[in-house]
């Protein structure tokens, strides 16, 4: 009989050993199917955030091992609609946010701290008082699948397959109909889903369905009731703390970040403003002219044709003269985007050549660290029909319609010259300049 009791006891212990157990420290440890078991047969992506893709279910399982550690989250639109009037362009940047993962029991939350209101102080209590005074934003809640020691596995599929870029809202605001995301026609886009040591990149195909489409959307979509785009998500390691923010001066013509510091002395203004700029340091700080430790390199969209390609390279490179005037040698370069490189990858400053159904604006924007103003990625969108419009203007001025008369070369030269100026202007915005081609007061 004692042997029978012993066998039953051993069987009971063996069964319970495969379930979750609470350690003396109160931490739950999984003794059953851990991360390796839950991701068996899936494609593994090693990098900044390790993740797995399940070909059977079209899901991405994300490993979170950086709790309460801030990083930059950027969403963008890698394949657009093609209408200037709507505004959903190819390679259009979306929001840039500082976020972090927090654990609350069985839930993992993606939290955006409030960096508009701060206490820049070594006093933790001062910092906490300001932090709790203003609301933060929880962007998403994830359900924990399993865990191992100090890392957990979550299903991030619904997060990546959500309308983070607000395509439906943009269509509605443009009067183009009421659209909703159709997840049955949406999926991960694996050729642009990649992982690197300091950034994790995810891309999805999203389809929006709707009724009563407007004229703009009808003009650019083959079946207007079904609008399909691609959306990109980037998880990016934040820069180190060696960057030195520079105080904003309105006479200098820079863009700026603004926040309110409740730790400053009562005699000072709590509003703090710092310019946005790239990090640039001399190899030899004592030299009048020195190369940069890390030069600023911009890359031109490989889809840009000649002779436009050469004109854009020339115009963007004009900025090297400005850096030379400040004591830097070869600190600013413009090259073609490497074969296979993703223009949405945060490691590349990119000049994008963007097509639309009608002529529209060009834009110079950037991914910026909202804590300091440091520009992490310069990002230019150049509308491809601008150069054709300039050519038509030249045609109207010269009226080269006489029979047998060759079209003057000056027409194309003028259009390309205007394109060089446009490239320099928009790149200037991505370097932090508000008015990039206008004289400013000396400081």
Report which of residues 397 and 164 the model is more confident about. Answer: 164
What average pLDDT does range 114-125 have in this prediction?
A: 96
Kindly write down the DSSP assignment for every residue of 104-124, as one continuous string: ETTEEEEEE---SEE--SS-H
Asked if 318 and 298 count as a contact pair (C-beta separation under 8 A), the reply is no
Please write the tens of the pLDDT for every residue from 268-292.
Answer: 999 999 999 999 999 999 999 999 9
Please write the tens of the pLDDT for every residue from 67-105.
Answer: 999 999 999 999 999 999 999 999 999 999 999 999 999
Residue 185: pLDDT above 70?
yes
Band of pLDDT at residue 439, cut at 50, 70 and 90: low
C-alpha span between 87 and 245 (Å, rounded):
33
Residue 17: pLDDT above 90?
no
Residue 322: pLDDT above 80?
yes
What average pLDDT does range 321-348 have in this prediction?
A: 94
What average pLDDT does range 215-240 have in this prediction?
A: 97
Band of pLDDT at residue 7, cut at 50, 70 and 90: very low
User: Tell me, what's the pLDDT at 436?
Assistant: 52
Strands 107-112, 117-118: pairing is unpaired
Asked if 84 and 383 count as a contact pair (C-beta separation under 8 A), the reply is yes
Give pTM, 2 decimals. 0.87
Residue 342: pLDDT above 50?
yes
Residue 297: pLDDT above 90?
yes
What average pLDDT does range 393-421 have in this prediction?
A: 85
Percent of the chain at pLDDT > 70 equals: 90
C-alpha span between 351 and 303 (Å, rounded):
11
What average pLDDT does range 370-398 have in this prediction?
A: 93
Across 137-166, b (16+ Cβ under 10 Å) vs e yields eebbebebbbbeeeebbbbbbebbbbbbbe
Report which of residues 438 and 99 the model is more confident about. Answer: 99
Residue 434: pLDDT above 80?
yes
Degrees to nearest 5, angle at CA 175 with 170 and 181: 45
Identify the weakest region by mean pLDDT among 8-12, 147-151, 333-337: 8-12
Tokens at residue 352, please? Answer: 């994008």
C-alpha span between 26 and 22 (Å, rounded):
6
Percent of the chain at pLDDT > 90 equals: 82
Asked if 96 and 71 count as a contact pair (C-beta separation under 8 A), the reply is no
Residue 256: pLDDT above 60?
yes
Residue 21: pLDDT above 70?
no
Residue 30: pLDDT above 60?
no
Average pLDDT along the chain: 90
Tokens at residue 216, please? Answer: 């703009």
What average pLDDT does range 164-178 have in this prediction?
A: 96
Round the CA-based radius of gyration of the chain to a whole number and report it: 27
Classify residue 264 as exposed, middle or buried by CB count within 10 Å of its CB (0-12, 13-18, 19+).
Answer: middle
Q: In 3-state terms, what secondary structure has residue 245?
A: coil
Residue 8: pLDDT above 50?
no
Tokens at residue 259, please? Answer: 């926040």
What average pLDDT does range 179-204 have in this prediction?
A: 97
Q: How far is CA 75 from CA 24, 105, 146, 429, in A?
A: 41, 28, 27, 20
C-alpha span between 40 and 146 (Å, rounded):
13
| The CA-based dihedral angle spanning residues 305, 310, 312, 317, taken in that order and rounded to the nearest 10 degrees | 150
C-alpha span between 433 and 313 (Å, rounded):
19
Give yes or no for a cis peptide into 307 (omega within 30° of 0).
yes
Degrees to nearest 5, angle at CA 384 with 380 and 390: 115
Q: Which of 260, 262, 258 is nearest to 273 (CA)?
A: 258
Please write the tens of the pLDDT for every residue from 47-69.
Answer: 999 999 999 999 999 999 999 99
Degrees to nearest 5, angle at CA 308 with 303 and 310: 100
What contacts 76, CB < 8 A, 6 or more positions away? 91, 92, 93, 94, 165, 231, 232, 234, 344
What average pLDDT does range 333-351 have in this prediction?
A: 94
User: Facing residues of 354 across strands?
Assistant: 383
All structural domains of the chain, each given as residue ranges with its CATH number in brackets, are 42-236 (no CATH), 278-430 (3.40.390)
């Amino acid at each position: 009989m004692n042997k029978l009791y012993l066998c039953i006891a051993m069987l009971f212990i063996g069964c319970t050993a495969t379930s979750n157990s609470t350690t003396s420290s109160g931490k739950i440890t999984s003794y059953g199917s851990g991360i390796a078991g839950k991701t068996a047969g899936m494609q593994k992506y090693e990098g900044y955030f390790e993740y797995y893709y399940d070909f059977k279910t079209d899901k991405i399982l994300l490993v979170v091992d950086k709790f309460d550690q801030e990083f930059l989250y950027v969403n963008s639109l890698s394949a657009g609609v093609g209408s200037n009037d709507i505004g959903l362009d190819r390679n259009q940047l979306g929001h840039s946010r500082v976020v972090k993962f927090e654990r609350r029991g069985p839930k993992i939350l993606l939290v955006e701290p409030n960096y508009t209101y701060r206490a820049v102080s070594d006093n933790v209590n001062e910092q906490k008082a300001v932090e709790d005074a203003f609301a933060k934003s929880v962007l998403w809640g994830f359900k924990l699948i399993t865990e191992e020691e100090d890392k957990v596995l979550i299903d991030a599929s619904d997060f990546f397959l959500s309308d983070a870029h607000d395509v439906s809202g943009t269509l509605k605001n443009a009067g183009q109909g009421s659209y909703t995301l159709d997840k049955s026609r949406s999926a991960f886009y694996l050729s642009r889903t990649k992982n690197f040591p300091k950034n994790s990149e995810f891309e999805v195909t999203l389809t929006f369905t709707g009724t009563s489409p407007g004229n703009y959307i009808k003009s650019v979509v083959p079946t207007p009731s079904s609008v399909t785009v691609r959306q990109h998500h980037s998880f990016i390691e934040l820069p180190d703390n060696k960057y030195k923010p520079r105080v904003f001066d309105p006479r200098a013509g820079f863009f700026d970040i603004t926040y309110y510091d409740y730790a400053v002395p009562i005699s000072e203004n709590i509003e703090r403003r710092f310019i946005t700029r790239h990090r640039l340091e001399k190899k030899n700080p004592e030299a009048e002219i020195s190369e940069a430790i890390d030069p600023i390199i911009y890359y031109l969209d490989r889809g840009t044709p000649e002779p436009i390609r050469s004109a854009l390279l020339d115009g963007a490179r004009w900025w090297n003269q400005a850096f030379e005037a400040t004591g830097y040698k070869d600190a600013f370069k413009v090259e073609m985007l490497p074969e296979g490189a993703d223009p949405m990858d945060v490691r590349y400053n990119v000049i994008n050549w963007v097509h639309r159904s009608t002529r529209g604006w060009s834009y110079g924007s950037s991914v910026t660290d909202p804590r300091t103003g440091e520009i992490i990625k310069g990002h230019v969108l150049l509308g491809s029909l601008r150069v054709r419009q300039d050519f038509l203007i030249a045609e109207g001025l010269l009226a080269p319609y006489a029979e047998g008369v060759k079209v003057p070369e000056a027409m194309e030269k003028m259009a390309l010259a205007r394109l060089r100026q446009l490239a320099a202007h928009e790149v200037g915005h991505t370097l932090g300049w508000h008015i990039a081609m206008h004289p400013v007061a000396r400081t």
